[in-house]
Amino acid sequence: MDIEAIEDFEFEPRMSDADALMWNIEKDPLLRSTIVTVFVLDRSPDRERFTENMERVTRVVPRLRQRVLGHPMSIAPPRWEIDPNFDLSYHLRWMKAIGQGTIREVLDIARPIAMQGFDRARPLWEFTVVEGLADGKAALIGKVHHAITDGVGGMKLQMEMLDLEREPAGTGELPPVPEPRNLTEGRRWIDALSYETIRQTEAVRGLLAGAPREARALINDPVGVISDLLDTTTSMARMLRPATDPLSPLMRDRSLSVRFDTLRLPLQPLKAVAKIVSGRLNDAFVAGVAGGLRRYHQHHGVDVELLRMTMPINVRDDETARRAGNQFVPARFPVPVGIEDPIARMNAVRELVAHQRAEPALSLSDPIANLLNRLPASATTGVFGAMLKGIDFVTSNVPGAPVTIFVAGAQIESQIALGPMTGAATSVVLLSYRDDVNLGINTDPAAIPDAVAFVEALRDSFDELLKLV
């Protein structure tokens, strides 16, 4: 891909409130936000080319050379600053596979990588190349902190290290190395105060500019204005409502461990299934996961009607599409997993998701994050722990490349995205690539000790859906 495309992205010198919130709540390790992606390659990438390409990318994408610097007493979000000790070799690792060189073994290699916290004094990403897989294949394990980007943004940034051809044309000279512009402690305080002053001034100006319009609306339609205000207030209460106990009577324990699995499904048939209910791919995906959870509970002789799900809702628009960082709101709501009929289950999911996308509080996610960030870190962590530790499962749907892509001469055969659970029993991420989708299945062994049975339950559920077309 053209590396110059990234130059249109906006990389702010400070975290957004949403990014800072994910950074701050890691005081509780159960709430870590680590994204792992496994690329299965048809051969080992050329080491020299890959290293040179990543050197180029880190010079163009600021986040890959930046560390996070904040202060517990500062009212402003932490700053992104160039790491003066940046060492590319720390972030790029190479290893040989052991055993039979299967994908199962690669996923097992990725487990401890995912469970290790980031070195907060360095940029928040790592790549590990695993060579020596069966049939001459290799794998690339990518690890990035969620504070850098969400899944959709991550796919855009990821393309900067990838090619559309196995042997692309040369990229020319390397761009210059970014110069560190690190601030002294005193200057950092002044910068934070200036940042907050400007932000609060702009907020006040916005309120004053909108005051005449709001006053006219209140005069012309007082009932409507009050109704909208009540709807927004109620929506905010739903967004922040504590949920400390899982709805599942089975998947209740939590730990810091993970297990990774994957399923591959055909993309177009799954889209065709969703069209049966005039829905989207995401409706069939969530309905399939819900059906798998029902089957897994039945496998253990437990009936369950509702399970609480977190699903990121993308809030990008034309104005913010090229802004780096996270642009999603984590919607939490009960899903009727007990519906046996797959079409009825998809319909229920479609209606629920549409309702969540229309929540008035979605537009207030940044102000809410700003408010929470002003609390002491322990209080913010406690609030989010109360919101997230009662989640049963997480789903996320990420669109990937529709064409074949390469990395340093190696063709990518499949991609598996493994999202953070942040207190849930399992996270299932759908990532499309060419004509397939891969489900990245992350489970907590304390909640789901028999992951093989869980994966089979998911497989049976999606097979049931695909038989509809």
Mean pLDDT lowest for which of 115-124, 140-149, 191-200?
191-200
Percent of the residues in the chain that have a pLDDT greater than 90, as a whole number: 54
Query: In which band, very low, low, confident or very high, does the pLDDT at 157 lie, cut at 50, 70 and 90?
Result: confident
Mean pLDDT calculated for residue range 278-299: 97
- What is the separation, in whole angstroms, between the first and last Cα of the chain? 36
* Same domain assignment for residues 220 and 293: no
pLDDT at 100: 92
The answer to whether position 352 is within a domain reads: yes
Q: Give the residue numbers spanning the domain of 196.
A: 189-239
* In contact, 115 and 258? CB cutoff 8 Å: yes
Residue 434 belongs to some domain of the structure: no
Residues 249 and 388 in one domain: yes
Q: Do both 134 and 21 map to the same domain? A: yes
Pair 261, 351 in one domain: yes
Q: What is the pLDDT of residue 180?
A: 77
Cα–Cα distances (Å) from 86 to 63, 82, 125, in that order, read 12, 8, 12
CATH code where residue 310 lies? 3.30.559
Indicate whether 386 pLDDT > 80: no
Q: Is residue 235 domain-shared with residue 127, that is, in the same domain? A: no
**Inside any domain, residue 89:** yes
Whose tokens are 């009936």? That residue is 303
Confidence category of residue 242, pLDDT binned at 50, 70, 90: low
pLDDT of residue 173: 81
Q: What is the mean pLDDT of residues 111-129?
A: 94
Lowest mean pLDDT among 80-94, 143-157, 185-199, 250-264: 185-199
SS3 content of the chain, % helix, strand, coil (to 5): 45, 20, 35
Does the residue 379 lie in any domain? yes
pLDDT category at 396 given cuts 50, 70, 90 is: very high
Both 271 and 221 in a single domain? no
pTM over cut 0.75:
yes
> Using CA atoms, how far apart are residues 392 and 389, in angstroms rounded to an integer?
8
Residue 447 has pLDDT above 80, yes or no: yes
Is residue 196 located within the same domain as residue 107? Answer: no
Strand 125-131 and strand 92-96: the pairing is: parallel
**Count of helix runs (H) and strand runs (E) in the chain:** 13, 14
The tens digit of pLDDT for each residue in 339-370 reads 999 999 999 999 999 888 777 666 666 666 66
Does the structure show a pLDDT above 80 at 172? no
Query: Does residue 16 lie in a domain region?
Result: yes
- In the prediction, which pLDDT does 276 show? 96
- State whether 252 and 131 are in the same domain: no
Q: Please give the pLDDT value at position 464.
A: 97
Q: Which of 202, 219, 239 is the last residue of a domain?
A: 239
Beta strand segments in 132-218, E: 138-145
Q: Rounded distance, CA 218 to CA 220, Å?
A: 6
Mean pLDDT of the chain: 84
pLDDT bucket at 454, cuts 50 / 70 / 90: very high
Alpha-carbon gap, residue 301 to 417, rounded angstroms:
31
Look at residue 154 in the predicted model and tell me its pLDDT.
66
Confidence of residue 107 (pLDDT cuts 50, 70, 90): very high
In a domain, 202, yes or no: yes
Q: Does 355 qualify as catalytic in the annotation?
A: no
From 146, 297, 299, 355, the catalytic residue: 146
- 149 and 13 co-located in one domain: yes
Is residue 402 situated within a structural domain? Answer: no
Q: Are residues 261 and 196 in the same domain?
A: no
The answer to the question of residue 451 being in a domain is yes
| Number of domains making up the chain | 3
Identify whether the C-beta of residue 166 lies closer than 8 Å to the C-beta of residue 412.
no
Could you give the percent of the chain with pLDDT greater than 70? 77
To which residue do tokens 């009929």 refer?
Answer: 341
229 and 270 inside one domain: no
Question: Do 259 and 235 belong to one domain?
Answer: no
Specify the CATH number for the domain of residue 8.
3.30.559.10
DSSP state of 262: E
